[in-house]
Amino acid sequence: MSTITASEEQRVVDAAPKQLYIGGEWRDGSHGTLSVEDPSTGESLCEVADASPEDAIAALDAAVAAGPEWAQHPPRERGEILRRAFEEIARRADELALLMTLEMGKPLKESKAEITYAAEFLRWFAEEAVRIDGRYAVAPNGQGRLLTMKQPVGPCLLITPWNFPLAMGTRKVGPAIAAGCTMVVKPAQQTPLSMLMLAKILEEAGLPGGVLNLVTSHSSGATMGPLIADPRLRKLSFTGSTEVGRKLMEQASDNLLRLSMELGGNAPFIVFDDADLDAAVQGALIAKMRNIGEACTAANRFYVSDRVAGEFAQRLAEKIGAMKVGRGTEDDVEVGPLIDASQRGKVSELVQDALGKGARALVGGTERDGAGYFFDPTVLTDVPDDANLLTEEIFGPVAPVRGFDDEDEAVAAANDTEYGLVAYVFTRDVKRALRVAERLETGMVGLNQGMVSNPAAPFGGIKQSGFGREGGREGIDEYLETKYVAVNL
Ligand code: NAD
């Protein structure tokens, strides 16, 4: 791969739409524009529309108007639109990956992987669109029949975070379109460009105006508040922090909205002494360093059997310390910048807190000087119980390693968190693998692998990581209601 030129970068930024997309039309935002920054330089890439609350309501008006036709639209045709968009994303993967790297910072190779992952949700739900069914049953007393049918829930609000700018969108947009729902999408203000491109690609793929409406805004609360309070909205699907998720649940309670909440995580990564240590270190690299550590599924705490903890930490530190840090567009870069100054400040504070309480940095531990929000890949050992990074989501390239004595201790430590999204377990013992997987209080478990994400699998958490599932056979159910008809026969 050769380094990308400035004019190539300019070309993909110029090609992205910058306006709001409402009712099949591109229009300016009533609040002017907001700036999109390149986190590797801190400089502005471009301006996109800044929506007002009235713009957001106009987007809901369009979704409501398009609703009845779209609910009746032949499922095969809904699926074919998704399928065409899947193909177009695959065709334009290089351009989309570059755009994503520019707005979010991750290395090009990782952006490319996200583009593939994101597109796969569209292919998966293109196939699911024609599998929506109901059932017909004889009532237990033999009199009458029970008929059930699945129907779209209606207009949805889909709010997405910045860390996976496209995939967090397609995980919602794909099943919503397949189910026959119309929607208003609000991407994170830091990374609106990938979703704006998705809207354009869906438009070109034949999605009727009003089915998907997109608003970008610098003030999410003020813009989304009136929309959430509008009784015409039926569902809110949110991916983001637990803190904001809680607020949105409160707001959604007035109208008893259907909710899907994909929230924060604090993933434990457990390595038993019988594990294949090479595989565990490799898995740890993926679970920790993918997406610069800015993933809800990122390993946040490493619990390693006392018998191998020293060796594991040493080997992990060697690998992590050798990773090339830099702008995601440059050759061989493996670790990009954090998303902004506030995120880097948070990571720095957590590391300083742990070091101040007695942890040791085997590698890294500091911010990088110069432009952009870079933080040195870090491995910490001797991390004390009261270090804040054991309970808070780090969201950065920092791996705290702790030892444990036996299985019970490892499971208890892993479960000692308010979060419950994912856990990773490395062991060669099949019985132990399944026993521990059953005992872990999480929605997902990675067994001898450092990544669980797969469009064909139900992604989601328990406890304060939220509820609802995205992907898999379960994904479309989030956008369907079951109606029961009692048949007198
Ligand atoms: P965030 O909660 O700050 O923001 C998420 C989205 O919500 C953004 O679009 C933001 O503009 C919007 N938002 C913020 N306040 C709002 C309000 N008052 N009303 C309406 N919308 C509002 O999260 P973030 O910093 O963008 O993303 C990182 C978080 O997302 C992490 O906690 C991470 O774990 C979580 N996440 C979870 C999953 C999952 O599937 N469980 C996936 C990716 C990220």
pLDDT tens, 19-46?
Answer: 999 999 999 999 999 999 999 999 999 9
Q: Work out the average pLDDT over 162-186.
A: 98
Indicate which residue of 88, 203, 296, 393 is catalytic.
Answer: 296
As a three-state string, the secondary structure of the chain is: CCCCCHHHHHHHHHHCCCCEEECCEEECCCCCEEEEEECCCCEEEEEEECCCHHHHHHHHHHHHHHHHHHHHCCHHHHHHHHHHHHHHHHHCHHHHHHHHHHHHCCCHHHHHHHHHHHHHHHHHHHHHHHHCCCEEEECCCCCCEEEEEEEECCCEEEECCCCCCCHHHHHHHHHHHHHCCCEEEECCCCCCHHHHHHHHHHHHCCCCCCCEEECCCCCHHHHHHHHHHCCCCCEEEEECCHHHHHHHHHHHCCCCCEEEEECCCCEEEEECCCCCHHHHHHHHHHHHHHHHHCCCCCEEEEEEECCCHHHHHHHHHHHHHCCCECCCCCCCCCECCCCCHHHHHHHHHHHHHHHHCCCEEEECCCECCCCCCCECCEEEECCCCCCHHHCCCCCCCEEEEEEECCHHHHHHHHHCCCCCCEEEEECCCHHHHHHHHHHCCCCEEEECCCCCCCCCCCECCCHHHEECCECCCCHHHHHEEEEEEEECC
- The answer, yes or no, to whether any atom of ligand 1 lies below 6 A from the CB of 160, is yes
Structure tokens at 50: 């800044």
- Residue 403 in contact with residue 306, Cβ under 8 Å? yes
Distance 183 CA to ligand 1 centre (A): 18
Q: Work out the average pLDDT over 84-103.
A: 98
Residue 15: which pLDDT band, with cuts at 50, 70 and 90?
very high
Residue position matching structure tokens 């990009």: 336
Q: Work out the average pLDDT over 366-375.
A: 95
- The answer, yes or no, to whether any atom of ligand 1 lies below 6 A from the CB of 293, is no
The 10s digit of each residue's pLDDT in 118-143 is 999 999 999 999 999 999 999 999 99
Q: Of 216, 214, 221, 269, whose CA–CA distance to 243 is shortest?
A: 221
At residue 3, the pLDDT reads 77
Q: Ligand 1, residue 243: give the atom nearest the CA.
A: 2
Cβ neighbours of 6 (radius 10 Å)? 8
Q: What is the pTM of this model?
A: 0.98
Q: Is position 262 annotated as part of the catalytic site?
A: yes
At residue 407, the pLDDT reads 98
Residue 452 pLDDT greater than 70, yes or no:
yes
- Residue 330 in contact with residue 109, Cβ under 8 Å? no
- The answer, yes or no, to whether any atom of ligand 1 lies below 6 A from the CB of 421, is yes
**CA-nearest residue, atom 17 of ligand 1:** 221
- Residue 459 in contact with residue 121, Cβ under 8 Å? no
User: What percentage of the chain exceeds 70 in pLDDT?
Assistant: 100
Residue 2: which pLDDT band, with cuts at 50, 70 and 90?
low
Q: Is position 296 annotated as part of the catalytic site?
A: yes
- The answer, yes or no, to whether any atom of ligand 1 lies below 6 A from the CB of 192, is no
At residue 247, the pLDDT reads 98
Distance 147 CA to ligand 1 centre (A): 39
- The answer, yes or no, to whether any atom of ligand 1 lies below 6 A from the CB of 70, is no
Site to substitute for ligand 1 among 296, 339, 444, 454, most atoms within 8 A of C-beta = 296
- Residue 188 in contact with residue 202, Cβ under 8 Å? no
The 10s digit of each residue's pLDDT in 326-368 is 999 999 999 999 999 999 999 999 999 999 999 999 999 999 9
- The answer, yes or no, to whether any atom of ligand 1 lies below 6 A from the CB of 168, is yes
